[in-house]
Structure 1
Amino acid sequence: MSIEKSFVILADERIDVVVSSATTGGKYSILTEVAPPQAGPPPHIHTMEDEFLMPLSGSFEIFDGTEWSPMPAQGYHTPRGTLHTWRNSGQEPAKLLIMATGDSFDVFIEKLVGLNIPRDLQRLVEISAEHGISYVLSPAPDEAQSLAMA
């Protein structure tokens, strides 16, 4: 697999941009992420892109807005406008494939380089808003760990 770009976000999550939105003329981007145990973003909603998530190694869970369940091996589609998140549910780093429609998801992810959560939570919210992503920052108790690890 060829990689266009590689960087680390939020202190310890490695991102490889396999296909950038620039390469596809703004139609989609494909990334892989190596996430530490229990890592995952806060519950969020995209207004500009649909996402497809597929575990490549390890174990992941998906939150569909109401409950957590194991992420299917064949992947999981999150349409724009739906509350969701994911987390590495294993005890080892795990690899996730992320495909997002549109012209800015990979650009958004790269802007997270250097941020540290919770210290930079406000900056994360600002960058996300620029890309049509909003967060639900009052999670149920079992989602609090996802917020802390984001």
Structure 2
Amino acid sequence: MSQKIHANEQSEIQNEQSGDYNPFEFPELVKDADEPLILGPAGETFDFIQTGKTTDGKYLFAKLVVPPHVGPPPHVHHWIDEWFYAPNGGFSIFVGKNRYPDLEKAPGKGAPKDTLQIVQMRPKELFYVERNIVHGFANVTDKPQELYLVWTPDTPDVSFLPYFLNAGTIRDPDNPDQIPDFMSKIRLVSMASTYGKNQSDSFWQFVEKIEEIDHIPNMVDNREKLLELMSDTNKCQ
């Protein structure tokens, strides 16, 4: 891949998720992952574009197609940070107010439940959620929507890729109406802790209350960090 990505072409200062809408132009990256398409428990399709195998462990990048009115229940990553990017909008993202640093003390089970702030994602909007924070998302429209997810790091000891491969179902290219395997929903929860994740099995399991707001105060999208990761990896390929 020959494209070189410059952070200063995107923004000279770190963008805040605020009333000042600052769309993000996601870099065009060539797919170099050879992983199969995965059908997730909610019927979402994961297309892995780049993995730690080719990014020197810096990140894992997937493009999702998410069916209408679905998304993963609230969960917490303890080993990785995550970006969310909605090219066309259409999603609600929910982010907790508290931190949960202990994998053995999930919200509502050894730790207090959380308050989730729910925000509508606008087209080309980028969100960044650090590890140890409850979060999730849902397609709130009546048609499938595309969502980009980036997890960092993606080294063998913390990679999230095996979780998707083991919990999900390989997409059958000859079956466009394929539905998720029943066990996918079970494995989504039962395998989570192996990969440094607390995964709820329903929305309210980790949640005490919600706040529907226009933007999350003081939340930065860390676009410079994302662009730096991708530039460091791709300028040498």
TM-score bucket (shorter structure): 0.7 to 0.9
Residue 67 of structure 1 corresponds to which residue in structure 2? Answer: 117
In the superposition, the TM-score normalised over structure 2's length comes to 0.54
Partner Cα distance (1:138, 1:92) in 2: 23
Bigger drift between 29-38 and 63-72 goes to 63-72
User: Any stretches of 5+ residues in structure 1 without a counterpart?
Assistant: 144-150
Query: Aligned pair 1:8/2:15, yes or no?
Result: no
What RMSD, in angstroms, separates the aligned Cα atoms of the two structures? 2.3
1:111 to 161, 166, 178: 166
- The Cα offsets for residues 54-90 of structure 1, whole Å up to 9 and x where unpaired, read as 0123500111122211124321101000000001111
Partner Cα distance (2:138, 2:76) in 1: 16
Contact 1:64 1:84 in 2 (8 A): yes
1:1-150 mapped onto 2 (5 Å cutoff): 1-2=30-31, 4=33, 5=35, 6-10=37-41, 12-65=43-96, 66-72=116-122, 73-103=124-154, 104-114=159-169, 116=181, 120-137=184-201, 139-140=203-204
- The Cα offsets for residues 81-123 of structure 1, whole Å up to 9 and x where unpaired, read as 0000001111100000000002212222222223646x55442
Larger Rg: 2
SS at structure 2 position matched to 1:67: strand
Question: Alignment length, in residue pairs?
Answer: 141
SS at structure 2 position matched to 1:123: helix
Bigger drift between 86-95 and 97-106 goes to 97-106
Structure with the larger strand share: 1
Where in structure 1 do 4 or more consecutive aligned residues deviate above 4 Å?
none
Partner Cα distance (2:47, 2:184) in 1: 22
Partner Cα distance (1:14, 1:50) in 2: 21
